[in-house]
Amino acid sequence: MNFIVLTIFPQMFDAFWDHGIIKRAIDQHLITATALNIRDFASGKHRVTDDRPYGGGCGMVMKPEPLVGALRAAQKKLPGAKTVLLTPQGRVFNQSTAREFREYDGLVLVCGRYEGVDERVCQSVIDFEISTGDYILTGGELPAMVIIDAVTRLIPGALGAEDSAEKDSFSDGLLEHAQYTRPQEFEGQAVPSVLLSGNHQEIEKWRLESSLIRTFLKRRDLLEDKRLNNQEIDILSKWCSDIDKIIRAQSSRGTGSLPGAQ
């Protein structure tokens, strides 16, 4: 997988290329990653990359010529690569977008600055407009790092043998189960005994129930969109019957709801 980032601050990526999973993926030639300076494609003595917006208004807009020049240079290096503009106007990035992007040979990621880029860039040379979320940043560099990180860890071999992206949150549409490590006791809090039992079937059942309850409590929307398998339906049905028992028990404790309950 090959990444080229177009930015006016290429040095922001120096540390990003040089640490953790990304560094290892580069060293193992699982990915190539470079940052091109858009200013190198600007003309004139001052090599400006931005200018005042037509129609007036505050802020500056990134000029089309340096951007398109940089894009064409990047496409020469990575023929067939998809071009991605990071912008709040884009499709919101998520794990399935990461899986989709992993299938491409190359991605050219365009980092906007100022108020954004000239619209003619978006119309002519951009394949995907992607947003990392509904907020406004000072630049597209951090979103570009987010995408490179999320896609790289899905490349086979990028995550060490001890880890795999298959059991990620969202990989099966659920949040990941609770995780514990040594010490067995921490400030009076013990690790669930099933995790110490060595009974992998029981551990897998506990982890699935942990994922379901966390997803139910924190991201019910994911459960509503998810195709549940029989084991998951059994677990949810058991919760329903447990809750039914509790509600029925209430009625045997005398009629009428508790004072103050609506």
By the criterion CB under 6 A, which residues form the site for ligand 4FV?
86-88, 112-114, 116, 131-133, 135-137, 139-140, 143
Closest approach, Cβ 2 to ligand 4FV, in A, equals: 21
Annotated active-site residue 103? The verdict is no
Catalytic residue, from 39, 88, 172, 209: name it: 88
What are the residues whose beta carbons fall under 8 Å from the beta carbon of 186, sequence distance 6 or more?
Answer: none
- Name residue 250's amino acid: Q
Q: Work out how close the CB of 111 gets to ligand 4FV at its nearest, in angstroms, rounded to a whole number.
A: 8
Active site residue 66: no
- Measured between alpha carbons, how far is 78 from 148 in angstroms, rounded to an integer? 16
Measure the CA dihedral 72/108/97/145, to 10°. -150
Cβ proximity to ligand 4FV: between 106 and 143 the closer is: 143
Among this protein's residues, is 153 annotated catalytic?
A: yes
Closest residue to ligand 4FV using C-beta atoms:
112
- Distance linking the first and last C-alpha atoms of the chain: 57
- Alpha helix (H) ranges present in the chain? 14-17, 20-27, 64-77, 95-102, 119-125, 141-152, 200-218, 220-225, 230-252
Q: Which of 40, 115, 172, 209 is catalytic?
A: 115
Marked catalytic residue, from 50, 141, 168, 232: 168
CB of 42 to ligand 4FV, least distance (A): 17
Annotated active-site residue 192? The verdict is no
* Distant-in-sequence, close-in-space partners of 166: CB < 8 Å, separation ≥ 6: none
Q: Closest approach of Cβ 114 to ligand 4FV, in Å? A: 6
| Minimum distance, C-beta of residue 8 to ligand 4FV, in the bound complex (Å) | 11
- The number of beta carbons lying within 10 Å of the beta carbon of residue 47 is 13
Q: Is 66 or 140 the residue whose CB approaches ligand 4FV more closely?
A: 140
Say if residue 125 is exposed, middle or buried (CB neighbours under 10 Å; 0-12, 13-18, 19+): middle
Active-site positions read 88, 115, 153, 168
